Amino acid sequence: MRVVIDCDDAAVDLKKTIVAHLEKSGVEAVDLDYLGSHPGAFYPEIGYNLALKIQDGTFERGILICGTGLGMAMIANKVKGVYAGVCHDVFSAERLRKSNDAQVLTMGARVIGPELAKTIVTAWLASEFQGGGSLPKVQQMHELENKSFESK
């Protein structure tokens, strides 16, 4: 599996920790390092850049990290067909995939420590969408999204 990852200036150290963890686990981590080519960039353009790579199918899964994870989730969800959620515990990370079929995990470097972050990432990557009772809810989410993105 290949996972794309990026962060803003608040989360550079945690991103490095997660990349090393993924590689040690046998997962190819592609670090977009948007800040490296766009010094001073804010989280909206960083998150948007990664979400576009999910939208176009370049990557199936992505991880975004900022101070709280909230802003990254908000901007990633602005890209049609991309579903992101902030998770600071393992149960939520599992449900993000199993119940909501989200492709992007966001976390806050100012909220959780590196060991918990690694555990969350591992749980999220091990989880797959289960369908079942969640399927009609996810389908409705897609329908409402399409309605929202229609030209007025």
Question: Which residues are the active-site residues?
Answer: 66
C-alpha angle 34-32-6 in degrees, rounded to nearest 5: 80
Name 103's Cβ contacts closer than 8 Å, sequence gap at least 6. Answer: 54, 60, 61, 62, 82, 83, 84
Q: How far apart are CA 55 and CA 82, in angstroms?
A: 6
List the strands of the sheet with 2-7, edge to edge: 28-31, 2-7, 61-66, 104-108, 84-86
Q: Which two tokens stand for residue 143?
A: 């329908």
Using CA atoms, how far residue 26 sits from 1, 9, 19, 122, 124, in Å, is 8, 26, 11, 11, 15
Q: What is the largest CA-CA distance in the chain?
A: 48
